Amino acid sequence: MKSKREKLTLHPDRFFSPDPATRKIARRLYASVKNLPIVSPHGHVNPQLFSTPGYSFGNPTELFIIPDHYLFRMLYSQGIPLESLGIPRVDGGKTQTSPERIWRIFADNFHLFRGTPTGAWFEYELSEVFGIKYRLSGETAAEIYDEIDKKLKSPGFSPRALFEKFKIEVLATTDAATDTLECHKLIKKSAWSGKIIPTFRPDSILDISQKNWRKTIEHLSEVSATDIHDYETFIRAIKVRREYFKSAGATATDIAAQAPYTEELSKNEAEGIFSRALSGKSNPEDCTRFTAFMIMEMARLSIEDGLVMQLHVGVFRNHNAELFGKFGADKGHDIPIPIEFTKNLKPLLNKYGNNRELALIVFTLDETNYSRELAPLAGHYPAMKVGPAWWFHDSINGMERYRRQITETAGLNNTTGFVDDTRAFLSIPARHDLSRRVDANWIAGLAARHIITLHDAEEMIKDTAYRLAKKAYKL
Amino acid sequence: MKSKREKLTLHPDRFFSPDPATRKIARRLYASVKNLPIVSPHGHVNPQLFSTPGYSFGNPTELFIIPDHYLFRMLYSQGIPLESLGIPRVDGGKTQTSPERIWRIFADNFHLFRGTPTGAWFEYELSEVFGIKYRLSGETAAEIYDEIDKKLKSPGFSPRALFEKFKIEVLATTDAATDTLECHKLIKKSAWSGKIIPTFRPDSILDISQKNWRKTIEHLSEVSATDIHDYETFIRAIKVRREYFKSAGATATDIAAQAPYTEELSKNEAEGIFSRALSGKSNPEDCTRFTAFMIMEMARLSIEDGLVMQLHVGVFRNHNAELFGKFGADKGHDIPIPIEFTKNLKPLLNKYGNNRELALIVFTLDETNYSRELAPLAGHYPAMKVGPAWWFHDSINGMERYRRQITETAGLNNTTGFVDDTRAFLSIPARHDLSRRVDANWIAGLAARHIITLHDAEEMIKDTAYRLAKKAYKL
Amino acid sequence: MKSKREKLTLHPDRFFSPDPATRKIARRLYASVKNLPIVSPHGHVNPQLFSTPGYSFGNPTELFIIPDHYLFRMLYSQGIPLESLGIPRVDGGKTQTSPERIWRIFADNFHLFRGTPTGAWFEYELSEVFGIKYRLSGETAAEIYDEIDKKLKSPGFSPRALFEKFKIEVLATTDAATDTLECHKLIKKSAWSGKIIPTFRPDSILDISQKNWRKTIEHLSEVSATDIHDYETFIRAIKVRREYFKSAGATATDIAAQAPYTEELSKNEAEGIFSRALSGKSNPEDCTRFTAFMIMEMARLSIEDGLVMQLHVGVFRNHNAELFGKFGADKGHDIPIPIEFTKNLKPLLNKYGNNRELALIVFTLDETNYSRELAPLAGHYPAMKVGPAWWFHDSINGMERYRRQITETAGLNNTTGFVDDTRAFLSIPARHDLSRRVDANWIAGLAARHIITLHDAEEMIKDTAYRLAKKAYKL
């Protein structure tokens, strides 16, 4: 059975409820937004795709498998070594080098992705981006590999051409605070009109527990042309950099922290911790309190310069010590932890939450936060919105849970639209399509149950598919 | 589009599944309870409505917006200052005084309530209580305001007339332990037969951390004619007051605590903390332990006098310090927190949970408690029942989650029926109607899936709509 | 109404969605697995049923009520004393002795089980195992009692006959580490070919906080023919016993712990704690750390001998102290608690999680773990799988939540199929049937929404109904 060639067809009603009344409305709502441009306000696409003349995605394995931890973690979980998938080792040790063999392993195990968003996105890419007519399996592996490989070498498959084909209105990258944004500059200078904007991500300069933090601060001094020798100059340098990002088109910042713990420090306390950190004498408590304070400081600076502030919390990074040692970060073993917002965010929200100049978008991986804390907080504080279902949860069921647990308390307008958060450029249309379908189906369900009117439904789908993201990210 | 006049029609099948099989059963179940009297065993309606001759609800803004924190928090979250909504400031500072202008802001922003229970309740009130034919929007704001205003001044819109029109069988208010229940006395003395009963809420006398606690105790001494000078006389005064409430028709008490932490104290420990509190020398640990013990004492007293004991936990009150300073309590920024019951309630349940004389009804705002702790506890201890989906969760999805996460383990009979918990008297029929529809639809779903028989379904809907509340609250 | 005789008919479409498209696929999927043999890799059936010639289930009350804490806890929660249900008291005190009277109480209160899995399983047993034609109620109680009683005395109702009738391919019992497995030996020696295998459960030898731990260790010394005087000999004895279980057919072990806390100890630390425990001088911290380490040691030993390792966590046992004193353990008051896995399991997973020789199956009662921690962990570590919805959650909604919250991240292949976990032998077909129906319906829903193909659906239902359990438990 497994080796039978199965036709690959994306059903036009996919992801919609089988209930005829709901489906009918869902179709209509989806049709009304299907062709709207894609707004991608947060993600990790490499800007080199668009600044490097003749940029190549490589072969199908280099495109789909090696950089995608969503995908190879599933194979790894079933006992397939990362080495045999060609994941590069930190020590340069031997790994599988034949892309065809790696592709074949993936193909042989594609059944593992049944019912997963990874599987749905991949089949969308096969069908809609590459025009493949058969499902991936051991039998079809080689021909599909060849067909993709050929297409990837054709001119229509340059990143810029695809950007236009995908109808992307704006794509935000995520960039270190010390980044000089050379790629973004090159794109701007070029004749090409695609809008690629950076996002200011200060994590590495804020985390004083990192071994190379002092090196990073030296680098920050350099790129900001600011001699950082105390807390005041540190903040001054950050401001310089935020302005630089703004001038390159950035509208937002992004902070990742394990917990959303916030705490106000006095000027003296901040100065004390910073100087201890500079001299390599900070302690773990210093780190915790400094991060907690820096989250608040980023809110303060956002009020000053108008950059939207994103806060991503709730993940224990690099859980598998052995694998981290062998293969480095972002290898599919970042694992969520329980999170509390009500008490943790209180200092920040009490100081800045009533300020309408602040736009704070909060993301979590702990779904218990949705109805318990995030919807009530966003349904009150003018400065705060709830970011969309994130990472493990940007799936069909994940997004449905998000809508059902957030909307009744926070309303749709305290959410921010879809964010694809991906480094896989070719998956962007797949992800937005899935999100638009899931939202169309959810809104159709509300209309079919006469919870909202059809007029409401038509407005809501435009909000979720396009308008909320533009508004929330000031695009 | 937004300014188009849209007809306001409540669909007869609203909130029911679009699936024809389910809908057919839901209709039939709903029809069987639609006209049952309303039992409202817990809420915050002001008894003055019924004791004051010629009581007036004021204008539409005073009725719908100013007292309803569900409603104005949503406007506030979208950047509309509370001052511009006429919410009175603690310092008497300037706020918007034109009710028509406030109404217009609400009307212009009514789209924020799409898919929310607040929106559904409001439209029910417009349509069913006031006979309004169009949806609220900027265009219809003025005419709807005028029509409501006119109706509010007509004789059919007195609280007593509405009470009868709404077919309320009994309405429980919530009253401070020191309240002399003058309104309730007046209602009883009057020729009117409406049943309005008080509920004993001792929070202010139990919380020794409150600044004016000692004043409250003096007040308690006075109204109980008991000289409170130690723990024993304190309990004696409480007993006097509980008897007073019973004689005024009360069948229940209600305690609110941030956490359900319970702890047994020895007589000496209780006495020691109480005397420190009386002399203003109690510490934070004293407060925590005293509250924990008082929750247990309330259970003991309930066993003695038969009053049902309600326990509401899980909310961080007045989260927004600035707003609390400006506008006081109950302004839409009470935010839920994570709660644990299994270990916290153990001392109380171990001491009193096997006693069938105790009727303890537990409410939470942390939905993770439903299947993890509350259903198993209520499915075992004879004294305990799970209160209905509360506050942020008395919505369509909220009530569905409640039923699905509680019933399989606890059974329907360890739950207590719907509680509207509202201070908005005119919203009571809307809330009970929504609850009856959601339950009819849930039970219909069970029958359509042949999980229960139609006979079971017919019994269950009567339980959820009427019988469970009467039984649980001894009405 | 209540006393009306209601026909008992199990609808052929029971538990399927009423949506025609979904139902049609669900029927087809269910039909394809309905007659597959039952694999029961974890449960608590007494092996004496199969080793004792002429074993009798007793009367209907002894069969259905007295041993079933799912059932009598519900009656107890509604105020019916356990004494009146014939539950034996620890002190031998008086309890109801008339099985007919106990049965009548159950019958009179059978409505309490509406919408519960206990009710669904019971009606399946009545209908499919005993051929009863009417629902249980006060009116039908006596005749149903008599009919069951008669059947129980007939030859077709011997455990071995039923085992074959139920088409059980393999049934695993759970047995103390010190058990000599006499029943299993007798079954093997007999002419009967039914496969009953033991499971190694070391809880009593690992928990040094137990009063009679030292007695248990003496017993372990004896049955392992190993003089246990230090940690090394302790582990040696455990190995002897694991081998003994393997030789009796065991493929798995099972550990229960309140929390999944794991910690590595040095040889000296382990030795120190063990010797303090032997001399009765261990402290609470010793107990916690020793349990944490022993969970890791069980993983190490599983890698050595290939036994699958099950870990059941998250329940506070014997919550009701008074009832525990009167009636002993397993009386319906084990209550779940909040659980954290990401940090707690890190030591174990970091040491053994990448080892494909380990098969670790993790169970939780805290459903918040599903999407937050368990799916991401099982979706990465080759050694770990998520056990099925457990105990309070092996219900229709419970299993649906499990599938929806786990599959998108972990995929189906990182789960392990259904486990009935029951001591009620006659309920096994009912439980597997319910599980197969719920899975058929869930998979049908995926197909009806075109999330998967029909081919995928046909494979997935075979996985969930049969193949995953066999593979995960090495059967």
Q: How far apart are CA C394 and CA C372, in angstroms?
A: 20
Q: Is residue A108 part of a domain?
A: yes
Residue B269 structure tokens: 């420990």
B227-237 average pLDDT score: 98
Among B74, B112, B102, B73, which residue's Cα sits nearest to residue B323?
B73
Q: Is residue C163 part of a domain?
A: yes
pLDDT of residue C1: 43
Strands of B200-201's sheet in order across: B175-176, B200-201, B252-257, B308-313, B360-363, B384-386
Domain that includes residue C418, residue range:
20-55+158-472
* C51 and C78 together in one domain: no
B185-204 average pLDDT score: 97
Distance, in angstroms, between C110 CA and closest chain A CA?
33
pLDDT of residue A358: 98
The CA–CA distances, whole Å, from C351 to A323, C252, C263 equal: 11, 20, 10
Categorise residue B47: left if φ over 0, alpha if ψ from -120 to 50, beta otherwise.
Answer: alpha
Cα angle: C474, vertex C297, C171; to 5 degrees: 30
Q: How far apart are CA C62 and CA C54, in angstroms?
A: 16
Distance, in angstroms, between C386 CA and closest chain A CA?
12
Q: Where do the H-state alpha helices sit in A68-212?
A: 69-77, 99-108, 117-124, 141-152, 159-165, 182-189, 203-206
Categorise residue B107: left if φ over 0, alpha if ψ from -120 to 50, beta otherwise.
Answer: alpha
Determine phi and psi for B175, rounding to 5 degrees: -135, 140
Residue A220 structure tokens: 């920050």
Judged against a pLDDT cut of 60, whether residue C420 lies above it is answered with yes
* C311 and C370 together in one domain: yes
Assess contact for B197 and B174: CB atoms under 8 A: no
* Under-50 pLDDT residues of chain A: 1-2
Judged against a pLDDT cut of 60, whether residue B1 lies above it is answered with no
Test B335 with A342 for CB contact under 8 angstroms. Answer: yes
Q: Which of B18, B321, B334 sits opposite A21 (nearest CB)?
A: B18
* Mutation site for C-interface testing, chosen from A71, A114, A116 by largest number of C Cβ within 10 Å: A114
* Mutation site for A-interface testing, chosen from C449, C458, C460, C463 by largest number of A Cβ within 10 Å: C449
Judged against a pLDDT cut of 90, whether residue C122 lies above it is answered with yes
* B153 and B231 together in one domain: no
Distance, in angstroms, between B14 CA and closest chain A CA?
5
Q: How far apart are CA B75 and CA B364, in angstroms?
A: 26
Q: Is residue B10 part of a domain?
A: no
pLDDT band at C3 (very low <50, low <70, confident <90, very high): low
B24-39 average pLDDT score: 98
Q: Is residue C364 part of a domain?
A: yes
Determine phi and psi for C472, rounding to 5 degrees: -65, -35
Residue A451 structure tokens: 């919870």
From chain B, pick out residues whose CB is under 8 angstroms from the CB of C3: none
* A457 and A390 together in one domain: yes
Q: How far apart are CA C198 and CA C204, in angstroms?
A: 16
The residue from C142, C157, C172 where one domain ends is C157
> Structural domain tally of chain C?
2
B390-412 average pLDDT score: 98
SS3 C463: helix
Assess contact for A424 and A40: CB atoms under 8 A: no
Residue B463 structure tokens: 């339980």
List all chains that touch chain C, counting a touch as 3 or more CB pairs closer than 8 Å. Answer: A, B
- Kind plus residue range of the DSSP H or E element containing C273: helix C267-278
Residue A276 structure tokens: 């201890």
Determine phi and psi for A83, rounding to 5 degrees: -60, -40
SS3 A154: coil
Strand ranges, E, within C227-353: 252-257, 308-313, 315-316, 335-336
Secondary structure (H, E, C), C122-151: HHHHHHHHCCCCECCCCCCHHHHHHHHHHH
> Mean pLDDT across chain B, nearest whole number?
97
From chain A, pick out residues whose CB is under 8 angstroms from the CB of B431: none
Test C460 with A115 for CB contact under 8 angstroms. Answer: yes
pLDDT in tens, B51-76: 998 999 999 999 999 999 999 999 99
Q: What contacts B424, CB < 8 A, 6 or more positions away?
A: B45, B67, B68
Chain C: residue whose CA lies nearest to A320: C350
* B105 and B115 together in one domain: yes
Q: Amino acid identity of C199?
A: T
* B62 and B130 together in one domain: yes
pLDDT of residue C359: 98
Q: What contacts C291, CB < 8 A, 6 or more positions away?
A: C206, C207, C257, C261
* C39 and C115 together in one domain: no
B167-193 average pLDDT score: 97
Q: What is the DSSP string of A36-75?
A: SPEEE-S----THHHHSTT----SHHHHHTTT-HHHHHHH
List all chains that touch chain A, counting a touch as 3 or more CB pairs closer than 8 Å. Answer: B, C
* B35 and B133 together in one domain: no
Which residue has tokens 């509390």?
A340
* B347 and B373 together in one domain: yes
Determine phi and psi for A182, rounding to 5 degrees: -60, -45
SS3 C23: helix
Q: Which of C354, C409, C449 sits opposite A392 (nearest CB)?
A: C409
Q: How far apart are CA C466 and CA C172, in angstroms?
A: 15
Distance, in angstroms, between B115 CA and closest chain C CA?
23
pLDDT of residue A1: 43
List all chains that touch chain B, counting a touch as 3 or more CB pairs closer than 8 Å. Answer: A, C
SS3 B250: coil
Chain B: residue whose CA lies nearest to C332: B380
C222-248 average pLDDT score: 98
Q: Which of C413, C453, C459 sits opposite A78 (nearest CB)?
A: C413
Assess contact for A427 and A394: CB atoms under 8 A: no
pLDDT in tens, B287-306: 999 999 999 999 999 999 99
Test C378 with A77 for CB contact under 8 angstroms. Answer: yes
From chain C, pick out residues whose CB is under 8 angstroms from the CB of A113: 411
* Mutation site for B-interface testing, chosen from A341, A346, A355, A453 by largest number of B Cβ within 10 Å: A453
* B122 and B262 together in one domain: no
Chain B: residue whose CA lies nearest to A377: B335
Q: What contacts B284, CB < 8 A, 6 or more positions away?
A: B209
pLDDT in tens, C315-373: 999 999 999 999 999 999 999 999 999 999 999 999 999 999 999 999 999 999 999 99
Test A350 with B321 for CB contact under 8 angstroms. Answer: yes
Q: Which of C372, C408, C410 sits opposite A336 (nearest CB)?
A: C372
* Mutation site for C-interface testing, chosen from B32, B357, B377, B409 by largest number of C Cβ within 10 Å: B409
Q: How far apart are CA A172 and CA A178, in angstroms?
A: 17
Q: Is residue B87 part of a domain?
A: yes
The residue from C140, C157, C174 where one domain ends is C157
B371-381 average pLDDT score: 98
From chain A, pick out residues whose CB is under 8 angstroms from the CB of B116: 407-409, 411
Which residue has tokens 């506050």?
B391
Assess contact for A448 and B18: CB atoms under 8 A: yes
The residue from B104, B136, B157 where one domain ends is B157
Judged against a pLDDT cut of 70, whether residue C470 lies above it is answered with yes
pLDDT of residue A2: 47
Residue C468 structure tokens: 């995953």
CATH number of the domain that B338 lies in?
A: 3.20.20.140
Test A354 with B117 for CB contact under 8 angstroms. Answer: no
Q: Is residue B13 part of a domain?
A: no
Distance, in angstroms, between B86 CA and closest chain A CA?
17
Among B102, B451, B112, which residue's Cα sits nearest to residue A409?
B112
B88-95 average pLDDT score: 97
Distance, in angstroms, between A445 CA and closest chain C CA?
14
Q: How far apart are CA C431 and CA C314, in angstroms?
A: 22
Residue C363 structure tokens: 């169970």
pLDDT band at C184 (very low <50, low <70, confident <90, very high): very high
* C367 and C326 together in one domain: yes
**A331 DSSP assignment:** S
Residue C361 structure tokens: 């199956």
The CA–CA distances, whole Å, from A383 to B48, B106, C463 equal: 38, 20, 48
Strand pairing report for B38-40 and B168-172 = parallel
Q: How far apart are CA A437 and CA A120, in angstroms?
A: 12
What percent of chain B lies above the pLDDT cut of 90?
Answer: 98
pLDDT of residue C453: 97
* B122 and B215 together in one domain: no
Q: How far apart are CA A306 and CA A357, in angstroms?
A: 7
Residue C22 structure tokens: 């979904």
* Mutation site for C-interface testing, chosen from B340, B352, B356, B371 by largest number of C Cβ within 10 Å: B371
CATH number of the domain that A78 lies in?
A: 1.10.2020.10
B403-407 average pLDDT score: 98
Q: Is residue A217 part of a domain?
A: yes
Q: How far apart are CA B348 and CA B423, in angstroms?
A: 30
Residue A136 structure tokens: 């991936």
pLDDT in tens, B234-252: 999 999 999 999 999 999 9
Q: Which of C18, C78, C112 sits opposite B22 (nearest CB)?
A: C18
Q: Per DSSP, what are the bridge partners of residue B197?
A: B172
Test A1 with C459 for CB contact under 8 angstroms. Answer: yes
Assess contact for C103 and C61: CB atoms under 8 A: yes
Test C459 with A368 for CB contact under 8 angstroms. Answer: no
SS3 A90: coil
Judged against a pLDDT cut of 70, whether residue C114 lies above it is answered with yes
From chain B, pick out residues whose CB is under 8 angstroms from the CB of A382: 76-79
B138 burial class (0-12, 13-18, 19+ CB within 10 angstroms)?
Answer: middle
Q: How far apart are CA B59 and CA B45, in angstroms?
A: 18
Q: Is residue C460 part of a domain?
A: yes
Q: Where do the H-state alpha helices sit in A306-427?
A: 321-327, 346-352, 368-369, 375-378, 396-410
Test B320 with A382 for CB contact under 8 angstroms. Answer: no
Residue C33 structure tokens: 């697995």
From chain A, pick out residues whose CB is under 8 angstroms from the CB of C376: 334-336, 392
Q: What is the DSSP string of B136-188?
A: -STTTHHHHHHHHHHHHTSGGGSHHHHHHHTTEEEEE--EETT---HHHHHHH
